[in-house]
């Protein structure tokens, strides 16, 4: 199971109701995608233990996406037994840290800073987190993908009927086929491929069909929706998307669900949701504290 919690859903400037951008993903471990100002407190308010953060991924270095990470580091250092925390961030982060670090109490070894790049960033037991470049002003900016591995799952009844038992299951999985009682059984005859769960986050991004390619068939697309179509030109100029544009990407990519986030301060939310739904029905505008639970397919 993969739990996605929206810790902050505002864009650029917070409001009384929306904190700065941050998303928590809990699979076997806990990851943060962006870490805007106030993130550690939102984690506390939403019952997400900050001590368990395996890695923080910062999509780009605009202040609203990164300013929560320094306080989080301090809190983890002071209040937990953790010896290290990993942060993936674009070039420039180490310079920010150099300015701030004399004020912090951590040893250099406490931080494992990795430069964000396109491709796989983190490999888990049966999943990966990777990044892809997006179009956002002149900043180096990335989107993120959580990809669970595809898995072969046996049709137990079929397999037993064909005589498979014990270590034969492993053998057929390794060889692709197996002789059982004189007959050749192919792996595909007794199994199906469970597609791994896929979550794609655009970070801050203008309308970009490249994002649709990356998001192809994703279980969940989390997309920039700083503006509505009423301010489409401003959106493009500022390197952000409108709700309708986000929905177009979702439709093109045939994702299962779209969540609009990075909501501009002039919008309440429902009007952006309505705009998106006209293009892509399964759209929802994120709220702070919203949780989405993704479950793998049960059977085929």
- The catalytic site residues sit at 64
Cα gap 143→147, rounded to integer Å: 13
Torsion of CA 224, 226, 229, 235, to 10 degrees: -90
Q: How far is CA 154 from the centre of its chain?
A: 29
List, in sequence order, every residue forming a beta bridge with 86; answer none if it has no partner: 55, 112
Which of 99, 108, 176, 182: binder of a copy of itself (CB under 8 A)?
99
Specify the stretch interacting with a copy of itself by CB under 8 A; choose among 61-69, 146-154, 214-222, 249-257.
61-69
Q: How far is the CB of 41 from a copy of itself (least distance, A)?
A: 4
Q: How far is the CB of 43 from a copy of itself (least distance, A)?
A: 10
Nearer to a copy of itself, 79 or 282 (CB): 79
One character per residue 260-289, x = contact with a copy of itself (rule: CB under 8 A): -----x------------------------
Cα gap 129→120, rounded to integer Å: 6
Assess 96 for contact with a copy of itself (CB under 8 A): yes
Torsion of CA 10, 285, 265, 38, to 10 degrees: -20
Assess 108 for contact with a copy of itself (CB under 8 A): no
Specify the stretch interacting with a copy of itself by CB under 8 A; choose among 21-29, 74-82, 181-189, 199-207.
74-82
Which of 1, 63, 113, 274: binder of a copy of itself (CB under 8 A)?
63
Cα gap 241→247, rounded to integer Å: 10
CB atoms under 10 Å from CB of 34, counted, come to 28
Query: 97 with 87: CB under 8 angstroms?
Result: no
Residues lying near a copy of itself in the complex (CB under 8 A) are found at: 12-16, 19-20, 37-38, 40-41, 44-45, 61-64, 66-68, 70-71, 74-75, 78-79, 92, 95-100, 102-104, 265
């Amino acid at each position: 199971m993969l739990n996605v919690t929206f810790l902050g859903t505002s864009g650029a400037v917070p409001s009384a109701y929306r904190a700065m951008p941050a998303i928590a993903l809990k699979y076997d471990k806990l990851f943060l995608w962006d870490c805007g100002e106030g993130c550690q407190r939102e984690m506390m308010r939403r019952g997400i233990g900050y001590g368990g953060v395996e890695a923080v991924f910062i999509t780009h270095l605009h202040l609203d996406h990164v300013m929560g990470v320094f306080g989080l580091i301090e809190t983890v250092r002071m209040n937990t037994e953790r010896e290290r925390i990993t942060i993936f961030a674009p070039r420039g982060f180490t310079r920010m840290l150099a300015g701030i670090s004399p004020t912090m109490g951590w040893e250099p070894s406490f931080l494992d800073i990795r430069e964000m790049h396109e491709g796989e960033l983190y490999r888990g037991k049966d999943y990966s987190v990777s990044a892809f470049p997006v179009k956002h002003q002149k900043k180096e900016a990335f989107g993120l993908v959580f990809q669970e591995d595809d898995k072969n799952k046996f049709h137990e009844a079929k397999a037993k009927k064909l005589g498979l038992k014990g270590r034969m299951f492993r053998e057929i999985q390794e060889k692709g086929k197996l002789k059982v009682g004189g007959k050749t059984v192919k792996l595909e005859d007794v199994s199906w491929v469970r597609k791994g769960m896929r979550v794609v986050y655009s970070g801050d991004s203008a309308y970009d069909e490249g994002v649709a390619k990356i998001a192809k068939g994703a279980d969940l697309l989390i997309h920039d929706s700083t503006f509505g179509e009423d301010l489409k030109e401003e959106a493009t100029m500022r390197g952000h998307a409108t709700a309708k544009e986000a929905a177009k990407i979702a439709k093109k990519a045939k994702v299962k669900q779209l969540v609009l986030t990075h909501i501009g301060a002039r919008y309440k939310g429902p009007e952006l949701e309505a705009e998106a739904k006209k293009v892509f029905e399964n759209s929802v505008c994120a709220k702070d504290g919203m949780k989405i639970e993704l479950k793998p397919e049960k059977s085929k």
